[in-house]
Chain A
Amino acid sequence: DGGITQSPKYLFRKEGQNVTLSCEQNLNHDAMYWYRQDPGQGLRLIYYSQIVNDFQKGDIAEGYSVSREKKESFPLTVTSAQKNPTAFYLCASSPKTADQYTDTQYFGPGTRLTVL
Chain B
Amino acid sequence: SQQGEEDPQALSIQEGENATMNCSYKTSINNLQWYRQNSGRGLVHLILIRSNEREKHSGRLRVTLDTSKKSSSLLITASRAADTASYFCATDEEGGSEKLVFGKGTKLTVNP
A residues near B, CB below 8 A?
31, 33, 35, 40-45, 48, 50, 56, 58-59, 88, 90, 92, 100-102, 104-110, 112
Task: Given A100-B95, A101-B50, A102-B100, check contact A110 B40 (CB 8 Å).
Answer: yes
Determine which of A43, A56, A104 lies in contact with B102 in the assembled complex, contact meaning CB atoms within 8 Å: A43
Shortest Cβ gap from B30 to chain A (Å): 5
- Across chains A and B, the number of contacting residue pairs, with CB separation under 8 Å, is 65
Shortest Cβ gap from B108 to chain A (Å): 14
CB atoms of B103 and A100 under 8 A apart: no
Tally of contact residues, B, Cβ under 8 A: 29
Chain A residues with Cβ under 8 A from B44's Cβ?
A: 107
CB atoms of B41 and A110 under 8 A apart: yes
Let me know if B58 is at the binding interface, CB within 8 A.
no
Beyond the given pairs A43-B43, A48-B99, 19 more chain A to chain B contacts, judged by CB atoms under 8 angstroms and listed by A's residue number, are: A33-B99, A40-B104, A41-B105, A42-B2, A43-B88, A43-B102, A44-B2, A45-B99, A92-B43, A100-B95, A100-B96, A101-B92, A104-B33, A105-B90, A106-B45, A107-B35, A107-B43, A108-B42, A112-B40
Shortest Cβ gap from B11 to chain A (Å): 14
Top-7 shortest CB links A-B: A107-B42, A100-B96, A102-B92, A42-B104, A43-B102, A42-B102, A107-B43
Bound together, the chains give a CA A97 to CA B58 distance in angstroms of 22
Chain B residues with Cβ under 8 A from A101's Cβ?
A: 30-31, 50, 92
Shortest Cβ gap from A83 to chain B (Å): 20
Bound together, the chains give a CA A40 to CA B103 distance in angstroms of 11
Within 8 A of A (CB), among B56-112: 88, 90, 92, 95-105
Shortest Cβ gap from A54 to chain B (Å): 11
Chain A residues with Cβ under 8 A from B35's Cβ?
A: 107
